[in-house]
Amino acid sequence: MILNAERLVKLCAREIHGWAEAGRPVRWTLRGGLFIVACLDWTLRDDGPPQGRGATLDAIMASDSSDGDSSGARPGEWLERIGALHIHSRYSDGTGTVQEILSAARGAGLDFVVLTDHDNLGAFREGWQGVHDGVALVTAAEVTPWRQGHLLALRVRHCEGYAVRRNRGTMDAVGAQGGYVIVAHPMGKRKRSLGIHHTPLYDWGHPAVRGIEIWSYMHDWVDGIEWWRLPAAYEFWKHPERRVRGPDPHVLRMWDQFGRERRLSGLGGLDCHARRVPLTRLELFSYRQMFGFVRNHLFIRPEDWRNDPIAALTEALVEGRGFVAHDVIANSAGARCDARLADGRALQMGQEAPFADGTRMTLTLPRAAEVRWIADGQCRLKELTGRLSAAPAGPGVYRFEAWLEGAPWIFTNPFYLR
């Protein structure tokens, strides 16, 4: 443990001066909270790697780089492309430039990132969309309709004026451009102590809606934070992989239910801003750190990737052709999930087919975990294994989950058998 007394005293003096000038109690609370977190970081600096389950973030990074091609692709099969969704840059309220975000993604071994600045497509207009030294950048926007939930708009060329519309008007406008909507943090969040007030969005039935964030990482993290529980906040910040609870069960329930009507892609969103603590050089959840947390593993045909990686990624995102993984606890690259129909045809995650007896679906993992087979929202099979195979008895929405020692790890998109 390093106690940097001189820095601490200087910071105290500066902050007390700042508090005296600050006008409102809420601001005092926020600044005080951030200040104490900053102090704790400076005074408890020898944490070392997380002691938690599975691989540490560093171990994952090391294995990513030593793997070479993390896709695990075999000729004629699907390429696995791993990336992060819901990222803010300096085009809105994130603290990193696009170049910094790309370099963090490269460092974290990602194949793609989806930039979603608030009501802003500056990165698209300035030509950032494309592949940069092996990392594909998809430019989207997080649109904030008037007093309603947030939407990630993909494949759009403009979003001016969308922030003053209501949900339906915004979605109509996105759809009219040929764009797609992914519902961000669908259940909303109200956290007065942190100044967060997001309203939920329930209008999932709009034709432009093609996906939802089944796991909103920052919202999960924020749930456990209260200003009067700052030691816990510090623990959350330092080792979030130990504290997050996984996708909101309510969202999963609604997703399963909705899937009986039509397909809806389930994705993991980071809502990454890489915020900096005022008056310090401290960064809360850097891009590099967050890019190791919740990742989307998408499956893409090699020819589609060669022809137009941005279009291929966008399609895989909205088709739900992949799974969401909490890679900070164990690297899920190489996990495979597929269904084999009675006539021998293969079905990829997110796809739909008529039900027939003899259909089998299988999840294969790079390591053993508690695997759950979910049928229409109900867990029908649960086993500690590296490979679980199941045969549905009738039409339904079928997906897998994998948990490692009680921690959320992998959530596949469903197979829809009608």
Q: Tell me which stretch binds Zn ion (CB under 5 A): 100-108, 161-169, 269-277, 284-292.
A: 269-277
Contact call for residue 64 and Zn ion (CB under 5 A): no
Distance of closest approach, residue 87 Cβ to Zn ion, in angstroms:
8
| Count of residues that interact with Zn ion, criterion CB under 5 A | 4
Pick the closer one to Zn ion by CB: 150 or 301: 150
Cross-strand pairs, 278: none
Distance of closest approach, residue 190 Cβ to Zn ion, in angstroms:
13
Contact call for residue 150 and Zn ion (CB under 5 A): yes
Pick the closer one to Zn ion by CB: 61 or 218: 218
Contact call for residue 239 and Zn ion (CB under 5 A): no
Distance of closest approach, residue 145 Cβ to Zn ion, in angstroms:
11
Distance of closest approach, residue 152 Cβ to Zn ion, in angstroms:
8
The contact pattern for Zn ion, residues 105-144, with x = CB under 5 A and - = no contact, is -------------------------------------x--
Q: Tell me which stretch binds Zn ion (CB under 5 A): 264-272, 355-363, 399-407, 410-418.
A: 264-272
Distance of closest approach, residue 88 Cβ to Zn ion, in angstroms:
6
Pick the closer one to Zn ion by CB: 81 or 150: 150
CA distances from 335 to 49, 73, 80, 331, 412 (A): 25, 11, 9, 9, 10
Pick the closer one to Zn ion by CB: 275 or 340: 275
Distance of closest approach, residue 277 Cβ to Zn ion, in angstroms:
19
The contact pattern for Zn ion, residues 4-43, with x = CB under 5 A and - = no contact, is ----------------------------------------
Q: Tell me which stretch binds Zn ion (CB under 5 A): 67-75, 101-109, 168-176, 263-271.
A: 263-271
Pick the closer one to Zn ion by CB: 89 or 331: 89
Pick the closer one to Zn ion by CB: 141 or 407: 141
Q: Tell me which stretch binds Zn ion (CB under 5 A): 103-111, 265-273, 340-348, 352-360.
A: 265-273
Cross-strand pairs, 135: 132
Pick the closer one to Zn ion by CB: 113 or 300: 113
Which of 241, 271, 315, 401 contacts Zn ion by CB under 5 A? 271
State which of positions 156-195 bind Zn ion (CB under 5 A). 184
Q: Among all residues, whose Cβ is closest to Zn ion?
A: 150
Distance of closest approach, residue 38 Cβ to Zn ion, in angstroms:
23
Pick the closer one to Zn ion by CB: 119 or 271: 271
CA distances from 78 to 75, 107, 124, 146, 263 (A): 8, 24, 28, 40, 21
Pick the closer one to Zn ion by CB: 175 or 200: 200
Determine what percent of the chain falls in helix, strand and coil, rounding each to the nearest 5: 30, 30, 35
Distance of closest approach, residue 365 Cβ to Zn ion, in angstroms:
30
Pick the closer one to Zn ion by CB: 142 or 401: 142
> What is the SS3 assignment for the chain?
CCCCHHHHHHHHHHHHHHHHHCCCHHHHHHHHHHHHHHHHHHHCCCCCCCCCCCCCHHHHHHHHHHHCCCCCCCCCCCEEEEEEEEECCCCCCCCCCHHHHHHHHHHCCCCEEEEEEECCCHHHHCCCCEEECCEEEEEEEEECCCCCCCEEEECCCCCCCHHHCCHHHHHHHHHHCCCEEEECCCCCEEEHHHCEEECCCCCCCCCCEEEEEEEEHHHHHHHCCCHHHHHHHHHHHHCHHHHCCCCCHHHHHHHHHHCCCCCCEEEEEEEECCEECCCCCCEECCHHHHCCCEEEEEEECHHHHHHCHHHHHHHHHHHCCEEEEECCCCCCCCCEEEEECCCCCEEECCCEECCCCCCEEEEEEEEEEEEEEEECCEEEEEEEEEEEEECCCCCEEEEEEEEECCEEEEEECCEEEC
Q: Give me the amino acid identity at 293.
A: F
Q: What is the binding site for Zn ion (CB under 5 A)?
A: 142, 150, 184, 271
